[in-house]
Amino acid sequence: MSPVTIKTIKGKKYAYLEKSVRLGATVRKVSHYLGPAPPFSRWKVAEATAEYQEEFLQKEVVLRMQQIQATITSTFPLTEEEIKKIEEMNVKYRQIMKNLHPKSREDLNKRFVANYVFESNALEGNTLTLKNVAEIVFEKRISSGQDLREIYDAQNSYNLYLYLQKTRQEINSDFIIKIHALLMDKIDDRLGFRKVPIMLVGKPMTLLSKPEEVEKEMDNLVKWYRKQKGRSYPLELAFKFHAKFEKIHPFCDGNGRVGRFLLNYILLRKKYFPIIIRKTTRNSYLNALEAADQGAWIVLMRFALKHYKETFRKFFEVYYQYAK
């Protein structure tokens, strides 16, 4: 709820609806003039806030766009128009997560994480249905005949996502290894960066990092991230990190899932809404990563834009009108 501020000008009192907007280390205000200052009840303020919600949204987006243009770089197809669309969605997302009733916010989060786990694991061949995943992580119920690895995969992924929502750890090699260990619990004991070559179906082995190069290349990736995290637009930063990580393929197993966890962790750390990459997009997703390997970043970023906006529309947009 935006507060009403009373300002005295030439002895007369006037009312303004105001909202504080944090932009990095600074705080700016957006406001709307309500008129001469009568008494305002809590309900009057709530009504005024709802009435001018869209106006405040656009004013906040303008401030954020000004900051982005002054401090952040982006490359095509992340045009000013496309970034503005993302910023509008993200301001709505922040309002949703701030203003929804805690129980409703918890329900939304459960729905999102269950879908994320289902889709991310299905991309790697996991055969559990969304209903199976929900039963396993919410009801602790396992149907007969389900593959034990797939069950652990769902449990580990769900718990790992909740962990990443709460932690504030900086991204470094130790943290990435920890994420992998949590994901692989009871599944695979080949932990830490790989010491052997691996081969992906349909991808020449020569394109993957050699075992003796993995640690150094991961150090270089972390250095790249630290250099770019205050310069690159968050969506571009997250997807380019993801592509570079997948090209290294630092683990014996679980690289795709760890990479997508890190992608979303970068977005969450930047206070942007997370993304779900669906199993139905598998071919275009892998093609986008392959193009990025060859330096064709435009293909990857077009994929990122399309499915980032789709994630917002499917999972968050409907809640916006109720988050006031």
Regarding whether 129 and 25 lie in a shared domain, the answer is no
Q: Is 299 domain-assigned?
A: yes
Q: Name the average pLDDT for the chain.
A: 91
Regarding whether 282 and 137 lie in a shared domain, the answer is yes
Regarding whether 44 and 170 lie in a shared domain, the answer is no
E-only strand ranges, the chain: 4-9, 12-23, 26-36
Q: Is 78 domain-assigned?
A: no
Q: Is 82 domain-assigned?
A: no
Mean local confidence (pLDDT), 232-251: 97
* pLDDT above 90 (res 144): no
Which one-letter amino acid corresponds to residue 210? K
Domain closes at, from 71, 89, 120 = 71
Regarding whether 198 and 121 lie in a shared domain, the answer is yes
Regarding whether 65 and 113 lie in a shared domain, the answer is no
Percent of the chain with pLDDT over 70: 94
Q: Is 65 domain-assigned?
A: yes
* pLDDT above 50 (res 258): yes
* pLDDT above 80 (res 1): no
Angle in degrees, 0-180, between the axes of helices 148-166 and 130-138, rounded to the nearest 10: 70
pLDDT of residue 25: 78
Domain closes at, from 71, 87, 111 = 71
* pLDDT above 90 (res 53): no
* pLDDT above 60 (res 43): no
* pLDDT above 90 (res 13): no
How far is C-alpha 284 from the chain's CA centre? 20
Percent of the chain with pLDDT over 90: 74
Q: Is 85 domain-assigned?
A: no
Q: Is 96 domain-assigned?
A: no
* pLDDT above 50 (res 198): yes
Regarding whether 131 and 64 lie in a shared domain, the answer is no
pLDDT of residue 206: 47
User: Would you tell me how many other CB atoms lie within 10 Å of the CB of residue 7?
Assistant: 13
Regarding whether 298 and 244 lie in a shared domain, the answer is yes
More confident residue, 26 or 286: 286
Regarding whether 106 and 32 lie in a shared domain, the answer is no
User: Would you tell me how many other CB atoms lie within 10 Å of the CB of residue 271?
Assistant: 12
Regarding whether 274 and 135 lie in a shared domain, the answer is yes
pLDDT of residue 272: 97
Regarding whether 55 and 148 lie in a shared domain, the answer is no
Closest by Cα among 120, 125, 95 to 108: 95
pLDDT of residue 49: 67
Domain that holds residue 276: 102-322
Domain closes at, from 52, 71, 90 = 71
Q: Is 247 domain-assigned?
A: yes
Residue 168's CATH number = 1.10.3290.10
Of 1-10, 38-47, 121-130, where does the model show the most confidence? 121-130
Q: Is 77 domain-assigned?
A: no
Regarding whether 254 and 207 lie in a shared domain, the answer is yes
For 301, counting Cβ atoms within 10 Å of its Cβ (0-12 exposed, 13-18 middle, 19+ buried), the class is: buried
Regarding whether 170 and 130 lie in a shared domain, the answer is yes
For 181, counting Cβ atoms within 10 Å of its Cβ (0-12 exposed, 13-18 middle, 19+ buried), the class is: middle
Which one-letter amino acid corresponds to residue 54? E
Report the domain count for the chain: 2
Determine the Cα–Cα distance for residues 250 and 213; give it in Å rounded to an integer.
Answer: 9
